[in-house]
Amino acid sequence: MWDMNHVSTVRWASCCVAALLFISFLSFGTVEPDEPVTTVMAPPIQPSADEPVTFTNVSEQVGLAGVTGRRYSWADYDNDGDQDLLIGGGKLFRNNGAPNWDFTEVTSQAGLYGKVSGGVWADYDNDGWLDFYATAGLGREDILWHNEGDGTFENVTYGAGNVLDGLPSESAGWGDYDNDGYVDLYVANYEWTIPNPWQSFGTMDILWHNNGDGTFTNVTVSAGIDDYSNPHQGRGVAWGDYDNDGDLDIYISNYRLRPNFLWENNGDGTFTERAFDRGVAGIPRWYGGYTYYGHTIGSAWGDIDNDGDLDLFAANLVHKDVFPDGIRGYICDDSKLYQNNGSAENFDFWDIRESAGIPIIPPGEKMYDPASGFIYYRDELYSSPSFGDYDNDGDLDLFVTQVYYLVHGDSHLFRNNGNSTFTNVTEEAGVKVWNSWGTSWADYDNDGDLDLIVEGSSYPDSFYEVRLYRNNGSPNNWLKIDLRGCWSNWAAIGARVTVTNGTVTQMREVEGGTGTGSSQNSLTVEFGFDDYSGTVDIQIRWPSGLIQDVTGVTLNQTLEITEISCLAAPTGVSAELFGTMDQDVRVTWTASPDEGSGYFGNYAVYRGTTYNKYGSGYVFIGSALAGTTELIDSGNGHGEPNTHFYYVQVNSTTGFGAKSKAQAAKYTKYLEIGINLISSPVLSSDSSLSSVLKTLNWDKAWSYNSWDTSDPWKMNALGKPVNDFVTVAPSTGIWVNVLTSDYFTVAGGVPENVQISLSTGWNLVGYPSFRSDYYIADLIADTQCVEIEGYFLPAVPYYLTKLLPTDLMMTGGAYWVRVPADVTWTVEN
C-alpha cells in the first residue's frame, strides 16, 4: 500500500506494483506521511506495433454527430471522474463514462441558455464545483454560470458584480494573478464593426478581480492594463508564468495588424506591457506611413524543449497577396513559434518557427483549387494552437487549426521530434480537417492518451460539424495528475507541475484557457515517458507559493493530489446570548477533525455587520487553541443595536487559514410598545417561544398555522405563561404585544436554506434570510401568491399594509401570504 500525505484516491492505476510515495513540503520543512491512498485498477494499454499514432473520428459513435460549434472546453463539471464537454459556451454534453464513453446533451436540464460563442471553466468560489464564464460577442451579454452541484447552473452575472462589460467579448481566461486563492478573469474584447472592417476600431479588454466573496471588481485601469488609450482587437487570452517568478502573466492575441500584448505581472497587483521588450509583439512592417503587425487569432503556452520555461505559439491569419499591388502579403506578419531563452537571456524570446520545421508559406504562392478550377494566391490561415503530448513520448506536440473553406485551409498536427524541431504528421495521424476555429485536448475515455476535438469538414465543400478524434494509443507510458487546491484555488489553475524521470524533467501548468475564443484543454495535466517504465518524482508549485514533492511514483495511473497542509473549514458554527441581561454573545463551533494534524495552529473568530457567505470585511475578535470550541464576544449581545455575523477560521502552521461561511448571527430589531408582527431569522439552540422572546417585556403572542385545521392559532393569546411546546422556527411569523419598547435580540445559526410549506389560502410566515436583494416580486414568482400583506404600524393593533412587487422583503419581518394552491417556498441565504 502507498503511504502519502494529502493525496486523494488514485482514480486509475496500471497493473504494475505500486511504489511507496512520500510528499515533502520544501518551503516549510519535511512532512511526515499520514494518509493512505487506495488504488483502482484500469485496463492496461495494449501495446501497438512500432508505427505512428493515429486517431479515429468517433463523433457518431459517441453521440456528437451533426453537432456544430467552434470553441471547445473540457471539464469534469459533475465530479464523476471523466471529462465533460462545453461547446460554444452554450451546449453542455455530459460524459457517460465507461463502457461506451459517449455523451448526452444536458444543456436544458442544466438550465443553460443565451447566445454565446465560448466558455472557460474554473471554480471561482472554491466550493468544489467547476463554474464557467461564457463570452457572447457583439450585441449580446456575457454570462457567469455558477455550478449548483446538482447538475444545474445559475446565472449569477449581475449578483457577482455585473461581470459583463457591454463590449464584443471574443475570448476569456482564468488566472489568480494576485495569488490570493481566488481565480481572476481576463476578457479580451474584439471590435465594433462597420461596413469596411479595415476602418473598425478595437475595444478595451477587462480584468476582473475576484473579491473572494462571490463578486468581482473591474480593476483594468488600476492594474495597469492600459489598452483603453488605444484599444486593440483582442481575440485570445493565454495566462502563463513565462518568467518563472511565481505569478501569472497574460499574453493577448490581437487582430487587424495590431501588436500583441504581454502583460508581465509585477507581483503587486499591477502589470507592465513587455511584448516589445521580450520580442513577442510581432514583427513590425512599415507601409504608406503606417506600422503593421499581424492578424493573431489565438496563442498557446507550452514548454516545447523541456528546459523549464514556457514557450509560445502565436497563430496568425496571413493574407499573402490580395491587393492589386500585392503589398498586403508583405505587411501581414506570419505565425510565430517563440522559444523562451530563460533567465540567462532575461526571458526574451526568439522566433524559431523556420528552423523548427514549421514551414512559412511564401507570399504570393499560387495554388490550384481542383474544386473550383481557380488559380489564386495562397494564404496562411492559422487560428487556434494547442499543445499536448498526444504520442506520450515526453515532449509537447502542436495542433493548429486553419479557417475558411479553401483547399489549403486544413488543420496541421506537428509532432515534436524532441530536438526543438517538428514534423507535419496530419495525414498519417488522420486528423486533417478544413475550416476549423477552436480546438482542445483531453483524455475523454480515461485510457491514458490525449484525444482531440475540433470542428470543420473533411473537405472544403463537405458538411461542417464537430469531430472528436479518439487517440488509438501507443505503447508509451504515461501519468495524469489532477490537483485540488485549498489555500490555492480549488481547480489549481496556475499551478506548475514538474515531473522528473532520471535526467529528463517535463513541466506543465494548469491552464484557465488557451487558443482563441474561450477554448480550454482539460484541467488534468498529462505527461508521457516514451518507453521509460521506472518511477518518477513530482514537484508542484501551487499558486499559494507552497512547494510540494511526491516521490517514487509509478506510471500509467491518474493521481489526485491535494495541496499540502490543508485543513477542513469549521462546521456547526452558531451563537447564543450569554451573560447578565444577555449582553454577550457566545460563538460555538464543532472541533476540527484536523486538530491532531501537524499543521493545526488555532481557531480565529471574526465578526461583521453585513451578511455575506465569505465573511469579507469582518474583523478579528479573538482566537482559541485546540480543544476549545467557544469564544465570548463581550458587550455585543442584547442592547447592542447592530446585527452581527460570525465566522470561524482554522489557521495552519504554514500561514494559511480555512474559514467557515458566515454561519452564526445575532439579530437585533427595535420594537415599539404595542402589537408587532415579527419573525426570528436564525436557528436558535432553544427555539421555544419564551426563549426566542426573552429579551422583551411582553404579555401576548400569536402565530397562525393554516396546516393545523383543528387549532391554527398555536400560541397562547391569553398571555404568559405560554405553551413552550410551540417552537418558533425561522419560518414562523409571530404577533407579539410588547409592553416596553426594547430591542428584540436573538442569536443562533444562519440557515442555509429554509423550506416553508404554504397551504391554499392565507399563511403567516417569517422571512428567514439576510439577503437584501429579494423583492415581493421574487416571492410572487417563487410561490404564485396572489396577495401579500405586511405589518408596519405597531401603535395600531393588527394594522396590515398591502405590499407591492417593488417592495423589498425585510429580514426578521413576517408576512401574510395568500396562495391559490399548496406550494413549498425555498428561502436561501
What is the pLDDT, as a whole number, of residue 716?
A: 47
- The listed range with the strongest mean pLDDT (325-329, 539-543, 760-764) is 539-543
What is the pLDDT, as a whole number, of residue 8?
A: 38
Summarize pLDDT for 397-408 with one digit per residue, the tens.
999 999 887 777
pLDDT band (50, 70, 90) for residue 126: very high
Q: Is 107 helix (H, G, I), strand (E, B) or coil?
A: coil
Q: Which residues are within 8 A (CB) of 402 and not within 5 positions of it... i.e. 6 or more apart?
A: 380, 381, 382, 383, 408, 409, 410, 411, 412, 434, 435, 436
Cell numbers of 829, please? 441565504
Number of alpha carbons in the 13 Å side-chain half-sphere of residue 21: 31
What is the pLDDT, as a whole number, of residue 203?
A: 86
Number of alpha carbons in the 13 Å side-chain half-sphere of residue 524: 31
What is the pLDDT, as a whole number, of residue 549?
A: 96
State the chain's mean pLDDT as an integer: 86
Rounded Cα distance between 449 and 471, Å, is 7
For domain 571-661, say whether CATH 2.60.40.10 is its number.
Answer: yes
pLDDT band (50, 70, 90) for residue 321: low
End-to-end CA distance of the chain: 44
Among the listed ranges 462-466, 487-491, 712-716, which one has the minimum average pLDDT value? 712-716
What is the pLDDT, as a whole number, of residue 13?
A: 34
Domains of the chain, by residue range, sit at: 67-158+171-193+203-263+276-284+293-474, 495-562, 571-661, 667-828
DSSP 113-162: -S--SEEEEE-TT-SSS-EEEEE--TTS--EEEEE-SSS-EEE-TTTTT-
Rounded Cα distance between 463 and 66, Å, is 9
Q: Which amino acid is at 147?
A: N
**What's 67-158+171-193+203-263+276-284+293-474's CATH class?**
mainly beta
Give strand pairing partners of 133.
120, 144
Q: What percentage of residues in the chain have a pLDDT greater than 90?
A: 60
Rounded Cα distance between 663 and 479, Å, is 41
Greatest CA separation found in the chain? 99
Number of H helices, E strands in the chain: 5, 64
Is 704 a residue whose pLDDT tops 70?
Answer: yes
What is the pLDDT, as a whole number, of residue 723?
A: 56
pLDDT band (50, 70, 90) for residue 104: very high
Q: What is the mean pLDDT of residues 146-162?
A: 95
**If you search the block for the grid coordinates 464537430, which residue do you land on?**
466
Q: Which residues are within 8 A (CB) of 434 and not within 5 positions of it... i.e. 6 or more apart?
A: 402, 405, 406, 409, 410, 411, 456, 457, 458, 459, 460
Phi-psi region of 484 (alpha: psi -120 to 50; beta: other; left: phi over 0): beta
Q: Which residues are within 8 A (CB) of 620 and not within 5 positions of it... i.e. 6 or more apart?
A: 604, 605, 606
* Cβ atoms of 731 and 714 closer than 8 Å: no
Summarize pLDDT for 740-751 with one digit per residue, the tens.
999 999 999 998
**DSSP run (H or E) holding 23:** strand 22-25
* Cβ atoms of 401 and 382 closer than 8 Å: yes
Rounded Cα distance between 829 and 774, Å, is 10
What is the pLDDT, as a whole number, of residue 96?
A: 97
Closest CA to 759 of 725, 788, 785: 785
Tally the residues of the chain.
Answer: 829
Summarize pLDDT for 105-116 with one digit per residue, the tens.
999 999 999 899
Q: What is the mean pLDDT of residues 556-565?
A: 95
